[in-house]
Amino acid sequence: MTQDLFLLTLLFLALLGAMAWPLGAHMARLFSGTYAWQPRLEAGLLRLLRLNGDDMRWTVYALGVLLFNLIGLLVLYGLQRLQGGLPFNPQGFGAVSADSAFNTAISFVTNTNWQGYAGESTMSHGVQMLGLTVQNFLSAATGIVVAIALMRGFALRAAAGLGNVWLDLLRAVLGVLLPLSLLLALALAGLGVVQSLDAHVTVALHGTPGSTQTLPLGPVASQEAIKLLGTNGGGFFNANSAHPFENPSALTNLLEMLAIFLVPAALCFAFGRLVGDRRQGWTLLAAMTLLFLIMLAVFFAAESSANPLLTALGVDGHAGNLEGKELRFGLAGSSLFAVVTTAASCGAVNAMHDSLMPLAGLVTLLQMQLGEVIFGGVGSGFYGMLLFAVVAVFVAGLMIGRTPEYLGKKIQSFDIRMTMLALLATPLLVLAGTALSVVLPAGLAGPANPGAHGFSEVLYAFSSAANNNGSAFAGLSANTPFYNTLLGLAMWFGRFLVIVPVLALAGSLAAKKAVPVTSGTLRTDTGLFVGLLMGAVLIVGALTYLPALALGPIAEHLTLFGIH
Amino acid sequence: MDIKQTPQSPLSSASTGRSMARASLLDARLLRPAVAGSLLRLAPQAQWKNPVMFVVYLGSMFTTVLLGLALAGHADAPPAFVALVAVTLWLTVLFANFAEALAEGRSRAQAASLRAAKKNVAAKKLRAPRRDAGVELVASTDLRKGDVVLVEAGDTLPGDGEVIDGIASVDESAITGESAPVIRESGGDFSSVTGGTRVLSDWLVVRITTQPGEAFLDRMIAMVEGASRKKTPNEIALTVFLVALTIVFLLACVTLYPFSVYAATASGGSPVSLTVLVALLVCLIPTTIGGLLSAIGVAGMGRLLRANVIATSGRAIEAAGDVDVLLLDKTGTITLGNRQATRFVPAPGVEEGALASAAQLASLADETPEGRSIVVLAKQRFNLRERTVGELKGEFVPFSAQTRMSGVDTGGQRIRKGAADAVRRFVEAQGGAFPEAVSAAVDAVARSGATPLVVVENTRVLGVVELKDIVKGGIRERFAELRRMGIRTVMVTGDNRLTAAAIAAEAGVDDFLAEATPEAKLTLIRREQAAGRLVAMTGDGTNDAPALAQADVAVAMNSGTQAAKEAGNMVDLDSNPTKLIEIVAIGKEMLMTRGALTTFSIANDVAKYFAILPAAFVATYPQLGALNLMHLASPQSAILSAVIFNALIIVALIPLALRGVRYRPDTAEKLLRRNLLVYGLGGLLTPFAGIKLIDLALVALGVA
């Protein structure tokens, strides 16, 4: 069992590195505009779309990002509300309710893809394709351009602007996400993921004459590809990647996991190239990978232990906790997927997270609460990790007796203000949202289980929403006006209360001159710094959430195993 | 050749402030006012300035109210327990106040000992800027900038100013600790005088250049005192960081109440008490660094004062830690203040003794250190007796900017010494020729990094005197140290490239600027800054002022002109250019102390969680008792131990905050590794031991 996981993880990381490295190189070139074919093509595209291609100050860049997402939000809300009258609706679904549409629109625009609804019984193919899938691309592109803008903040010297937001969005969608999705969609369809515009097929059940089964169909493979590549996670079906039409085999399972980490890993390589020091990219990747392996180890240790409540009923516990798992994937395939999907802010699931052992549930919770920086969402994981790097550099820089600097840029009071603003946003939303929900009657109606587990369900929902993960612990009845609204707000602010300060930080850094490196400079490409960065992530995250976690999964774990 | 007079600067700094500085931390003279100060600082407007401690302050008030309620019968927790927590929280606030008051007291005492020199004296204010304009007696504090005063032998200078007439010897020992009087005269580099010094002979007419209360010392004292102390950029950034952490923990603790209410409803227990929540909050927020932050800044300024440096901006002290390039004047910093004659190189056909004799004659009336050294060398080598110009019946020809030579006319002989080109012109103007061999000797001397002086008698060139710069002992090692710290040293000199290169190589500097003019210096600083580097320099002359104003850390010598002092952001009372290296270390220590205590403070939280969480939820989830790794006796003793540890650690770290984390010149990587080990790992482990010990003590005392 452990050997399975070990080999699978090794294979996974090796393939990831092999694919992310060239993609990172491609993205670095693409976003610097150094391909020979770029200038003419891009100028033409901008002319066609009547967009201005000028260099933008951070404020204009941020305004562009906000405007772009606001329009996306309105369109997606409109599509859902008008669903009944729109084409590609073979099932004849009516309008989605106002609060659910609000929640879903924010959810897909913010790259969260939290789903309060069941896809196959709520959304028409038309809305899935035109609304949800389109936003899967656009929200991922938003993450990428913000990450690129922050990289430019470090790479540029004494610059007024951060680049052009429209051009960057075009590059992200057309130059990165579309080609990758096309390849992946074809591969998945080839491996058995369904792709059809029909409603469903009704088949007679073999061996039981007279009874039939309805098999839902849809443009699944095409949505599946971007769902993973864009770390969106919103499944075509409610069962998400546990559904055999979304994820039929061990091979597709591996492919899907790789797709989740591909762009986040490639961004590290792109960073190294853009700032002209590849070791810097490797450092971030090393910190992410090590944190990931620690989380995986804890998760797997918890999952391979038997649930004492089940063993008491005479269930053989040797295979570990198989409750809520797809046996097609087994313990290793499910564990790796669960840790990957919560490390990255994907939220696609191939197992029931509500059925995880308490400590495994804690790992998934904590990974989200750390701010989705262990690989993290497309773009957002990268800029989140850089925020922690800024914190690490700040404290360490003081300890060597210099004004802290990262990649030659001095970290001063404005930069710290923006960094801390971005890092404060999600704990505020998670803790305040959870607190409101466990006090108000409307919130208390949600959890399916009482006590510590019920608390974990609510905490998981807000951690997932505010950190734009979108996976669910399930168990929580969240499709209510109360949760739809509160979680919708958590998703929106969890996204943009981070993005705006990050762009402000990028603008401030870009405007600075670079300090030359001397032997008195804190090196940020060493093992020591990897350790420091991991420490910053774990300590800030753990200190913020330890009390809440103690009342949830930790109390649950101690109760379950009768530890006193 | 530029024979610039450089004031002799004492290498070892004897000073007036030393005895005070060495006073122990526990000196009663400092402790008593500090205790009073810590009580005075309980005023809300004083607390508001420090956001982290303000939260503790509010927490103390809140628990006091809870105590009142508990006594009135609305017990949130046992009244004795609430009382103990409330008292400990108030003590936490007082300890932080005490640290700040103590640091201020020490720095103020330091400054006061310097200020003692600044007595309030009667000033002879002149009605017009002439000596004979008639005086009226006014108090020195009533003087305004621009007033002109007469200072005569025996008078104390009423304020900082610029000499506009007269020449006098002045005793500046009160400020510099150097007992030899110095000459002050109008014009040039020696025209600035400092208030509090005493005129020993003759008289001066001085224009006052500072408003009373604005003089350097006053500015520094004002910076130390709370009222006008501005936070430095780094201090602001750190405060932002600490405030953000405080908000995070505030959130974690405030939301914990509803969480525990939910948990208690489900498990049938009771929710966490408010007293415990406040205790948890105070333990988690970074009180250690928050309480000591301002003390660290004040102590940094105090350490600077102890080094006899007056800073006029806190920003500059911090910038000193960041310096990448040090511009060091060659003379006085890298080499001993002056060049010394080391060798006579006679022209062909000239006896070495004859050259020595002529050189000595030409130097007899030359009081510059170079001139004296020629006389001494001639006496040592050829036992030539010193003669006086009077007994030779000669006439001394002083150095002038036009001839660039000095010498003596005696009995029809015109003996001169000077730079090769000046002598060549002198010889050729009289129809003589400058021998090739001497030219070659001149070049050879220059190439070796020494300065050639050519001696001539009428038209006959006698030879070359080699004047050599003596590089200070140990300076090479200092520069190697600086290089390890990542600081580049640039030697600035008026010498030609050859000479400069030779000395640069001998002293081990990284770079040099030869034939430096004030403009060249300014350009160099701008170029370094454009490349993102921070530049520190020292200067004394008026012509250094533009460069001083441009540099990030500019240390003016106290012996320098008023213009130089105004342009710089620090004044070195010892006028010791090597002090720059010490200033850099003080700047770094200040930042390091902040960083170290921040790390320590955050690392402490881990143990505090393990102490408080199981205790706080004992009534909700007793199984969380498994987290009680320290096996603390009871929930109440656990919480009390954590709060008490949190308060005591502030007191325990006051000496470190005041002394500063010692800076050792080393690479960033090694420094970080060491400090992470000491303050990171140490911060993680110390509270486990500390809290356990306090718990044992509480149990032994029967308190909990």
User: Which amino acid appears at position B593 of this protein?
Assistant: T
Name the residue with tokens 């800027």.
B129
Q: Give the per-residue pLDDT at B10.
A: 33
Higher pLDDT, B305 or A149: A149
Residue B130, C-beta contacts closer than 8 angstroms, at least 6 positions apart = B165, B205
Higher pLDDT, A564 or B278: B278
pLDDT band at B389 (very low <50, low <70, confident <90, very high): low
- The burial class, CB within 10 Å (0-12 / 13-18 / 19+), for A49 is exposed
Measure in Å the smallest separation between the Cα of B612 and chain A Cα atoms. Answer: 10
The proportion of chain A whose per-residue pLDDT surpasses 90, expressed as a percent, equals: 59
For β-strands B122-126 and A200-204, DSSP reports them as unpaired
Is the pLDDT at B5 greater than 50, yes or no?
no
Residues B445 and B478 in one domain: no
Q: Give the per-residue pLDDT at B20.
A: 39
pLDDT band at B300 (very low <50, low <70, confident <90, very high): confident
Residues B444 and B492 in one domain: no
User: Which residues in B lie closer than 8 A to residue A395 (C-beta atoms)?
Assistant: 241, 595, 598-599, 602
Is the pLDDT at B168 greater than 80, yes or no?
yes
Q: Which two tokens stand for residue A327?
A: 């046996």
Interchain contact, B669 vs A412, CB within 8 Å: no
pLDDT band at B335 (very low <50, low <70, confident <90, very high): confident
Is the pLDDT at B19 greater than 50, yes or no?
no
Q: Provide φ and ψ at B457, rounded to 5°.
A: -120, 110
Strand partners, B561: none
- Hey, which residues 647-686 in chain B have their CB within 8 Å of chain A? 663, 667-669, 671-673, 675-676, 679-680
Task: Provide Rg for chain B, Cα atoms.
Answer: 33
A548 touches chain B (CB under 8 A): yes
Q: Give the per-residue pLDDT at B120.
A: 58
Highest mean pLDDT among A316-325, B97-106, B197-206, B638-647: B638-647
Q: How many domains does chain B divide into?
A: 4
Residues B350 and B328 in one domain: no
Domain ranges of chain A: 1-561
- Cα angle B362, B366, B370; round to 5: 95
Residue of B231, B235, B243, B248 for testing the chain A interface, max A β-carbons within 10 Å? B248
Q: Is residue B16 part of a domain?
A: no
CB B334 within 8 A of CB B507: yes
Is the pLDDT at B408 greater than 80, yes or no?
yes
Interchain contact, B252 vs A431, CB within 8 Å: yes
CB B47 within 8 A of CB B53: yes
Higher pLDDT, B656 or B558: B656
Within a 13 Å sphere around the CA of A537, how many CA atoms are in the beta-carbon half? Answer: 33
B588 touches chain A (CB under 8 A): yes
The DSSP 8-state label assigned to residue B676 in this structure reads: I
Q: Which two tokens stand for residue B281?
A: 């909050």
The proportion of chain B whose per-residue pLDDT surpasses 90, expressed as a percent, equals: 25
Q: Give the per-residue pLDDT at B213.
A: 53
B235 touches chain A (CB under 8 A): no
Q: What is the span of the domain harbouring residue B89? A: 28-109+226-304+585-701
Residues B346 and B456 in one domain: yes
CA distance A480 to A142: 29
The DSSP 8-state label assigned to residue A237 in this structure reads: S
Mean pLDDT computed over B50-55: 93
Interchain contact, B240 vs A413, CB within 8 Å: yes
**Domain boundary at B470, B492, B507, which?**
B470
Q: Give the per-residue pLDDT at A284.
A: 96
Q: Is residue B314 part of a domain?
A: no
Q: What torsion, rounded to 10 degrees, do the Cα atoms B200, B205, B209, B212 define?
A: 60
* Among B240, B258, B625, beta carbon nearest to A439: B258
CATH number of residue B133's parent domain: 2.70.150.10
Task: Provide Rg for chain A, Cα atoms.
Answer: 23
Q: Provide φ and ψ at B210, rounded to 5°.
A: -130, 150
Report CA-CA distances (Å) from A410 to A48, A390, A513, B68, B534.
Answer: 41, 10, 9, 50, 12
Name the strand (E) or helix (H) holding A300.
Answer: helix A278-303
The DSSP 8-state label assigned to residue B229 in this structure reads: P
Q: Give the per-residue pLDDT at B221.
A: 66
CA distance A522 to A393: 8
Q: Is residue B375 part of a domain?
A: yes
* Among B259, B587, B624, beta carbon nearest to A455: B259
Is the pLDDT at B146 greater than 90, yes or no?
no
User: Which residues in B lie closer than 8 A to residue A411 (C-beta atoms)?
Assistant: 237
Residues B238 and B96 in one domain: yes
Task: Output the CA torsion sign for A243, A245, A246, A249.
Answer: positive
Is the pLDDT at B1 greater than 50, yes or no?
no
Mean pLDDT computed over A476-485: 88
Annotated binding site of B: 366, 370, 399-406, 417, 540, 544
For β-strands B413-418 and B405-410, DSSP reports them as antiparallel
Residue of B253, B259, B529 for testing the chain A interface, max A β-carbons within 10 Å? B259
Measure in Å the smallest separation between the Cα of B88 and chain A Cα atoms. Answer: 23
Q: Is residue B143 part of a domain?
A: yes
**Domain boundary at B470, B497, B524, which?**
B470
Residues B254 and B276 in one domain: yes
Name the residue with tokens 């600027």.
B513
Q: Give the per-residue pLDDT at A510.
A: 95
For residue B242, give the chain A residue with the closest CA.
A420
Mean pLDDT computed over A14-23: 97
Lowest mean pLDDT among A328-342, A469-483, B101-115: B101-115
Q: Is residue B23 part of a domain?
A: no
**Domain boundary at B222, B246, B262, which?**
B222
Mean pLDDT computed over A52-64: 94
* Among B318, B532, B599, beta carbon nearest to A399: B599
Is the pLDDT at B2 greater than 50, yes or no?
no
B259 touches chain A (CB under 8 A): yes
CB B357 within 8 A of CB B382: yes
Residues B603 and B696 in one domain: yes
- Cα angle A518, B293, B90; round to 5: 160
Is the pLDDT at A186 greater than 90, yes or no?
yes
Q: Is A431 helix (H, G, I), strand (E, B) or coil?
A: helix
State the CB neighbour count (10 A cutoff) for residue A40.
9
pLDDT band at B54 (very low <50, low <70, confident <90, very high): very high
Tens digits of residue pLDDT in B208-267 = 887 655 566 666 666 666 555 677 888 899 999 999 999 999 999 999 999 989 888 877
Is the pLDDT at A459 greater than 70, yes or no?
yes
Mean pLDDT computed over B116-120: 55
CA distance B242 to B133: 61
Residue A513, C-beta contacts closer than 8 angstroms, at least 6 positions apart = A157, A158, B530, B531, B532
Residues B553 and B593 in one domain: no
Interchain contact, A558 vs B672, CB within 8 Å: no
pLDDT band at A334 (very low <50, low <70, confident <90, very high): very high
Instruction: Write down the pTM of the prediction.
Output: 0.84
Residues B209 and B279 in one domain: no
- The burial class, CB within 10 Å (0-12 / 13-18 / 19+), for B388 is exposed
Measure in Å the smallest separation between the Cα of A407 and chain B Cα atoms. Answer: 13
Q: Is residue B2 part of a domain?
A: no
Is the pLDDT at A195 greater than 70, yes or no?
yes
Q: Is B208 helix (H, G, I), strand (E, B) or coil?
A: strand
Lowest mean pLDDT among A170-174, B373-377, B537-541, B623-627: B537-541
pLDDT band at B11 (very low <50, low <70, confident <90, very high): very low
Tens digits of residue pLDDT in A76-118 = 999 999 988 888 887 788 888 899 999 999 999 999 888 877 7
Tens digits of residue pLDDT in A535-550 = 999 988 888 999 899 9
pLDDT band at B542 (very low <50, low <70, confident <90, very high): low
A546 touches chain B (CB under 8 A): yes
Is the pLDDT at B704 greater than 70, yes or no?
no
User: Which residues in B lie closer than 8 A to residue A435 (C-beta atoms)?
Assistant: 254-255, 258-259
CATH number of residue B354's parent domain: 3.40.1110.10
Annotated binding site of B for ATP: 366, 370, 399-406, 417
Measure in Å the smallest separation between the Cα of B575 and chain A Cα atoms. Answer: 26
- Hey, which residues 362-401 in chain A have their CB within 8 Å of chain B? 391, 394-401
Measure in Å the smallest separation between the Cα of B296 and chain A Cα atoms. Answer: 13
User: Which residues in B lie closer than 8 A to residue A434 (C-beta atoms)?
Assistant: 255, 259
* Among A432, A543, A555, beta carbon nearest to B255: A432
* Among B241, B260, B324, beta carbon nearest to A394: B241
Residues B456 and B488 in one domain: no
Is the pLDDT at B486 greater than 70, yes or no?
yes
CB A350 within 8 A of CB A329: yes
Tens digits of residue pLDDT in A223-240 = 889 999 999 887 778 788
Report CA-CA distances (Å) from A413 to A59, A554, B629.
Answer: 19, 37, 38
* Among B253, B263, B596, beta carbon nearest to A551: B263
Q: Is B467 helix (H, G, I), strand (E, B) or coil?
A: strand
Burial A545-555 (b: 16+ CB within 10 A, else e): bbbbbbbbbbb
Tens digits of residue pLDDT in A242-295 = 888 899 999 999 999 999 999 999 999 999 999 999 999 999 999 999 999 999
Residues B83 and B55 in one domain: yes
A434 touches chain B (CB under 8 A): yes
pLDDT band at A212 (very low <50, low <70, confident <90, very high): confident
pLDDT band at B173 (very low <50, low <70, confident <90, very high): low
Catalytically active residues of B, by annotation: 329
Report the mean per-residue pLDDT for chain B: 83
Name the residue with tokens 């060049």.
B339
- Cα angle A131, A134, A139; round to 5: 110
Annotated binding site of B for Mg(2+): 540, 544
A449 touches chain B (CB under 8 A): no
Chain-centroid distance of CA A422 in Å reads 17
Q: Give the per-residue pLDDT at A303.
A: 92
Name the nearest CA neighbour of A114 among A545, A485, A555: A485
Q: Which two tokens stand for residue A306?
A: 């038997």
Is the pLDDT at A417 greater than 60, yes or no?
yes
CA distance B511 to B491: 6
CA distance A423 to A497: 9
Q: Is residue B691 part of a domain?
A: yes
Q: Is residue B117 part of a domain?
A: no
User: Which residues in A lie closer than 8 A to residue B625 (C-beta atoms)?
Assistant: 564
Residues B213 and B231 in one domain: no
For β-strands B570-572 and B553-557, DSSP reports them as parallel
Higher pLDDT, B51 or A563: B51
State the CB neighbour count (10 A cutoff) for residue B179.
10
Q: Give the per-residue pLDDT at A519.
A: 79
CA distance B470 to B472: 6
CA distance B529 to B83: 57
Tens digits of residue pLDDT in B433-472 = 888 888 999 888 887 778 888 999 888 899 999 888 778 7
Q: Which two tokens stand for residue A156?
A: 């540029």
Lowest mean pLDDT among A130-134, A455-459, B171-175, B353-357: B171-175
User: Which residues in A lie closer than 8 A to residue B260 (C-beta atoms)?
Assistant: 551
Mean pLDDT computed over A360-367: 92
- The burial class, CB within 10 Å (0-12 / 13-18 / 19+), for B625 is middle
Residue of B249, B255, B289 for testing the chain A interface, max A β-carbons within 10 Å? B255
Burial A257-276 (b: 16+ CB within 10 A, else e): bbbbbbbbbbbbbbbbbbbe
The DSSP 8-state label assigned to residue A447 in this structure reads: B
* Among A427, A451, A523, beta carbon nearest to B251: A427
Mean pLDDT computed over A146-166: 94
